[in-house]
A and B are shown apart, each in its own frame.
Chain A
Amino acid sequence: MSEEKVKSKDELVPIFFMGKCYEVPSSLTIQKALEYAGYQLVRGCGCRGGICGACGTVFRYPDSYKIEVGLACQTVVQPNMYIAQLPFFPGNKATYNIADLEPNGSVFTALYPELYKCIGCGTCTRSCPMDIDVLGYMSKAIRGDIEGVAKGSFDCVMCGLCSGRCPAEEVQFYIAILARRLYALHMQPRSAHLKRAINSAEEGQWTEGIAKLKAMNLDTLKKVYSEREMEPHMGPEDWIPGDTNYVNVD
């Protein structure tokens, strides 16, 4: 586990974890610094790579009144920072059958009536470790712009930091995922070519071809593999292979 175990050659800096001082190497992220300090993490650690949202963390610097937030796995320690982790923030998710919902603005208020309580303070945007304009998508939600919310919130890791600091007690990230699912299901066009491919597969159109491959001896299979035709990298979308035995022909 060499590379995860921290190298202590770096200069040590003091950090305060929940008010208590620890000396940790200056190049570490908050997450690794906690481990260096002796913590075995159970909460507040997931992907260790900035995508799962398990490691929301709040901190302050010594000579600033500001409350800062970030992902512990992505934020490098600074001398004298005061740190508390916020790995879980309660939020109530509405339950719904996504297929039955109407894709219009009233969906948001029906499921999350507190949406209108947003006072537009922008704390959520300042709190988002993914640099998402949270206020921006919340305003769009109020206006019923489902597509805007879906696209504007795409990078949300559902860490809950926005919600934790919201004076209106919103659950921004649940509104966001509702919007993305509504948009993808009801507003993005269904894929016709996918439907055709599903039908072909379900009708067993390729079973015979695959059976042939399964029955081949290894050398023949290797030969077929090596000689298979490559779709050119920069080729057009409507490229058609020379051998059309195992594709649909229009």
Chain B
Amino acid sequence: MPYTPELKELIKKVEKTRPQRVERKKRGEEFQPMTLKEREEILQYHPDFKEEGRREILVGPNKGYRIAHEMVDLLHAKSRVDPDKIDLSKIDYETDVLILGGGGAGTAAALLARKQGMKVLMATKLRLGDANTMMAEGGIQAASKSTKDSPYYHYLDCMGGGHFKNVPELVETLVSDAPSVIGWLESLGAMLSKDDTGLLSTMHGGGTCRKRMHSAGDITGAEIMRTLRDEARNFPTDIKVIEFSPAVEIILNDKGHAAGAVLYNMETEEYLIVKAKSVIMATGGSGRLHIQNFMCTNHYGATADGLIMGYRAGVPLCFLHTVQYHPTGAVFPEQSEGLLITEKFRGAGANVLNIDGEQFVYEREPRDIEASAFIRECMVRGKGVPTPGGKPCVWLDSPMIDMLNGEGTVRKEFPGKWILFHRYGIDIAKEPMLVFPTLHYQNGGLEINKRGETSVPGLFAAGEVSGGIHGQNRLMGNSLLDVLVYGRICGVSASEYVKNGYKGGKLTLNHVKEFNAGLDKDNVATEDRVSPMLLPDYSNPEIRRKQYTTQYVGTIR
């Protein structure tokens, strides 16, 4: 659906201010970035700071911690399965390393564990590779140009972006391993954008002081994911993959070590037991919880499963009180609502504008600051652009990119987005886009150390399910990096544990029983909730209401 006549009229205001803005940019003059103090002030408009949006956790290691209702709902819920019904003596699969999740972190871990001589089993909810990694568009940070950049600056940027709350040793590992991760991708044959001398293309991202955002067109995550997946499938005997079978509980042994998982085959609806010598949690994030009703950019399976399973097994949570809203989610046309418009557009020079076609924020602030500025402009100052659906939003002036970098740049650098909008009758090289913050990333998660270890021996965690690396706010390009750095580390750590630390023991789900009992004892209202959620419910409530026989009645349900 092309822009409506009303919106076309408003675009004229953008066009009017555009030549001067382009000139200023060419001269190197930028809209004044905020000081640290101004940043602190504007954060009051960020959804994280809405007290009525959260409540205390009443059970487990983080009793008293206030996080989003949608997450607490899942923690204050019973297990999907009655542990007493499960016969742990009937083992369906046995493996050295069990990996829960088939995204970037899980697949990287699988490849590294295999290298260490491990037999690997991956259990994924959807298909191998169906994960947020696949959807990351903008790029991957690494200080690969050492005459102007180094992990020192990457460390600084990462800490500043996370409001200096990040766990320093986790950041140090992240930035120090970054160049070798790019080298690993190169050695796997991932098609990174580079010129014919081997010079990797790098750009700025929000909160970076050096251009260190590497990319593969505008589908960086997809290129990385499909390459890792292809590589994992080259070893079908060492890396076994069970798709459409998410884990619902971790199994411990009588020593309290991780010893496997209960899987749920979503198609046959049976539960399966995996016995493993070590377990890597790589289940990803939680955008599909739609915290505070925000639209979201995430994958269908992003429902916080790993947080719940890990928490029940005793792993503390951290940094979950902050959630990342990506400043630029698509708003128009309605079919594209929530869709991620990569930060690379702003990295490439596109300004952000209000209804008058005026700048109100520097376009490369860290994400939470940028998102807060949009919310203030629309909700407080009333300068948002009204959409036909009634939601206010702001302009992202993509046509500037061609004017700055030459005709055809938008088409070449953002082919995916160009085609998508072209189908809707919008040429983003000529017309700006309408955007508003959209739920994007779970900043926190299970507590880990720099070896990817959790507090439970034999249980490791990597990627979005873990917390601490990004502090209270992740910078663009640090999540693809995080999944690969820590996925690889977990692959190695878990293998070393199998070789040196693994003790064996009797399998048990007592921790699940105790968690359930704890909920009852403290009278925590669980209503009829069960978790993990596994999939969001987007079906028509009218029809759900009429599904009277969800249990077997006679031969069918």
The interface of chain A, by Cβ under 8 A from chain B, is 1-6, 27, 29, 32, 35-43, 45-52, 54, 74, 76, 93, 95-99, 130-131, 150, 154-155, 157-158, 177-178, 180-186, 188-198, 200-202, 205-207, 209-210, 213-214, 218, 221-222, 224-226, 228-234, 237-241, 246-250
Contacts and interface: CB of A to CB of B under 8 A. Distances in A.
Q: Which of A1, A35, A39 has the most CB of B within 10 A?
A: A1
Interface string B177-200: 111101100111111101011111
A45 B183 CA distance: 33
Contact of B211 (A37, A150, A206, A231): A231
Interface string B524-537: 00000000000111
B536 A247 contact: no
B368 interface: no
Contacts of A2: 290, 293
A6 B540 contact: yes
A73 B233 CA distance: 26
Contacts of A233: 25, 28, 30, 204, 349
Interface of B: 25-26, 28, 30, 35-36, 126-127, 129-130, 134-135, 142-153, 155-157, 159-160, 164, 168-169, 172, 175-180, 182-183, 186-192, 194, 196-200, 204, 209-211, 217, 219, 222-223, 226-227, 230-231, 233-236, 244, 266-267, 290, 293, 295, 297, 299-301, 334-335, 337-340, 349, 404, 415-416, 419-420, 423, 535-541, 543-544
Given A184-B192, A193-B144, A197-B144, A36 B540 contact: yes
The 7 closest A-B pairs by CB, nearest first: A181-B189, A185-B189, A38-B543, A189-B198, A246-B152, A46-B130, A248-B146
A243 to B, nearest CB: 10
A180 B148 CA distance: 30
A180 B66 CA distance: 47
Q: Which of A2, A130, A230, A240 has the most CB of B within 10 A?
A: A230
Contacts of B231: 98
Contact of B130 (A52, A196, A218, A228): A52
Nearest to B419: A131
Nearest to A99: B187
A3 B157 CA distance: 34
B188 A27 contact: no
Contacts of A225: 156, 159-160, 164
A47 B299 contact: yes
A130 B156 CA distance: 40
A4 to B, nearest CB: 5
A95 B194 contact: no
B189 A182 contact: yes
Given A35-B539, A52-B129, A206-B150, A193 B227 contact: no
Contacts, number: 270
Contacts of A237: 199
Given A180-B191, A226-B35, A40 B126 contact: no
Q: Which of B152, B160, B192, B223 has the most CB of A within 10 A?
A: B152
Contacts of A178: 230
Contacts of B339: 49
Nearest to B126: A46
A38 B538 CA distance: 9
A99 to B, nearest CB: 7
B164 A155 contact: no
B230 A177 contact: yes
Given A98-B188, A190-B198, A43 B25 contact: no
B149 A247 contact: yes
17 contacts: A27-B334, A38-B543, A41-B538, A51-B222, A52-B135, A95-B235, A131-B419, A154-B219, A155-B415, A157-B222, A181-B190, A185-B188, A197-B144, A201-B178, A209-B152, A233-B204, A239-B148
B458 to A, nearest CB: 29
Given A95-B233, A210-B152, A202 B180 contact: yes
B340 A29 contact: no
A175 to B, nearest CB: 12
Contacts of A183: 189, 191
A97 B301 CA distance: 31
B134 A47 contact: yes
Contact of A197 (B28, B164, B179, B191): B179
Given A194-B183, A222-B164, 4 more contacts: A27-B335, A35-B538, A38-B539, A181-B230
A1 B180 contact: no
Contacts of A248: 146-147, 150
Nearest to A224: B156
A46 B300 contact: yes
A238 B146 CA distance: 11
B225 to A, nearest CB: 9
Contact of A98 (B26, B145, B183, B189): B189
B28 A214 contact: no
Nearest to B129: A52
B385 to A, nearest CB: 18
B416 A155 contact: yes
B148 A39 contact: no
Q: Which of A131, A197, A210, A224 has the most CB of B within 10 A?
A: A197
A180 B217 contact: no
Given A76-B335, A177-B230, A233-B204, A201 B198 contact: no
A190 B187 CA distance: 9
B540 A193 contact: no
A213 B152 contact: yes
Contacts of B340: 49
A234 B26 contact: yes
A5 B538 contact: yes
Contacts of A3: 290, 293, 295, 337-338
A189 B182 CA distance: 14
Contacts of B159: 213, 221, 225
A228 B539 contact: no
A41 B149 CA distance: 46
Given A214-B172, A231-B209, A191 B266 contact: no
Contacts of A250: 147
B331 to A, nearest CB: 10
Contacts of B152: 206, 209-210, 213, 246
A5 B290 CA distance: 11
